[in-house]
Amino acid sequence: MYRLRFHGRGGQGARVASKVLGTAAFLDGYYAQDFPLYGAERRGAPVAASTRIAEDPIMERGVIPEPDIVIVMDETLLQDPLTMPLSGLKPGGIVIINTTNSPAEAKAEYKINANVLTLGITKIGLDMLGMPILSTLAGGVAARIVGLSEDSLTEAVKKVLSSIITDKKLLDKNVAAALYCFNAITPIETKIELKTIDTNKKKSTVISLPFEPAAVSSPAINATGNTPLRMTGNWRVFRPAWNYEACTRCMICVARCPDGCILINEDGYPYTDYDNCKGCLICVEECPTNTLGKVMEVHAKKVIGN
């Protein structure tokens, strides 16, 4: 069995990518299963989705804890301590990263100890679709890696997208982009096999749950104001960037931020709490001067540092 896990940011299309792959595998005659992971998060948060492909009926469900292949649709997720897209990756497994870097560079930069493939699908998406929605592209890449056919991929993209979009032209562009990616990436030889193997390597021990009094065991929270620990800063695709020359300290950005992520420094200037800012960019939209602009996270990391 192949177990693939897609990691992306909300809106990038990880769920649809897993569907495209699942559908293509099914069309190629395999048993397939795809599954999006729902969290508490509404739109914007990192998203994971799983696809299983096998020659035999699949006796598993739910999230894939130990994938053979991980598709990282947003490079910055690799450094995100909460998402940890590579967690559980099997030895000999493959990581496919959406980056313009070479596999060797990515391996070095993110200290990855696995087979790495890279393809800059954001740029392909922007060029071919005119938008950074990567579902069909990531699906195309994954389909190639697991050895599915071009025909099934084409059919799968059409099937999955026709229930989401009505624009025929856009659908055709997606097919073209998926096929482009399918052909742009070269599979590598590795030891993962397409037959069912037991995933439960680390044995866990079943315990008898001890009783705890209600003061401990009721679903009440005695801590206060601790959501900043969740670090929703990892949701951002773009970040608000500051250039204080024009700032009049009008406080409009502070009043407009839904999450209260704009704080005031000693001199009365606003600044962003990047640990928590979700990147909605209302502040950029609302700033009456040119103090706020937006920068894509991938570049922000490189240009500004964090």
Residue 158 binding another protein, by CB under 8 A: no
Piece in contact with another protein (CB under 8 A), picked from 144-152, 184-192, 197-205, 210-218: 210-218
**The one among 184, 231, 247, 296 contacting another protein by CB under 8 A:** 231
DSSP-derived secondary structure letter, 305: -
Counting every residue written for the chain, the total comes to 306
Residue closer to another protein, measured from CB, 189 or 212: 212
- What is the sign of the dihedral through the CA atoms of 256, 257, 258 and 262? negative
Nearest-angstrom CA–CA distance, 137 and 183: 11
Residue 42 binding another protein, by CB under 8 A: yes
Residue 280 binding another protein, by CB under 8 A: yes
* CA distance to 55, 80, 88, 98, per residue, from 134 (Å): 28, 20, 24, 10
What 3-state DSSP class applies to 49?
Answer: strand
- Residue 245, exposed/middle/buried by CB under 10 A (0-12, 13-18, 19+)? exposed
Residue closer to another protein, measured from CB, 41 or 109: 41
Residue 206 binding another protein, by CB under 8 A: no
CB of residue 293 to another protein, shortest distance in Å: 12
Contacts of 59 (CB under 8 A, 6+ apart): 196
Residue 230 binding another protein, by CB under 8 A: yes
Piece in contact with another protein (CB under 8 A), picked from 47-55, 131-139, 146-154, 267-275: 267-275
**The one among 184, 241, 281, 298 contacting another protein by CB under 8 A:** 281
Burial 157-181 (b: 16+ CB within 10 A, else e): bbebbeeeeeeeeebebbbbbbbbb
**The one among 31, 36, 45, 120 contacting another protein by CB under 8 A:** 45
Residue closer to another protein, measured from CB, 110 or 238: 238
Residue 267 binding another protein, by CB under 8 A: no
Residue 229 binding another protein, by CB under 8 A: yes
Site for another protein in 69-128 (CB under 8 A): none
**Do residues 240 and 274 make contact, with C-beta atoms less than 8 angstroms apart?**
no
The residue count for binding another protein (CB under 8 A) is 57
Enumerate the β-bridge partners of residue 262. Answer: 272
Residue 225 binding another protein, by CB under 8 A: yes
Residue closer to another protein, measured from CB, 102 or 227: 227
Nearest-angstrom CA–CA distance, 273 and 270: 10
* CA distance to 20, 151, 281, per residue, from 227 (Å): 35, 47, 20
**The one among 226, 245, 267, 305 contacting another protein by CB under 8 A:** 226
Residue closer to another protein, measured from CB, 96 or 257: 257
Residue 205 binding another protein, by CB under 8 A: no
Q: Name residue, tokens 């608000």.
A: 240
Judged by the rule CB under 8 A, the positions of this chain that interact with another protein are 39-45, 209, 211-215, 217-232, 235, 250-252, 254-261, 263-265, 273-282, 284-286
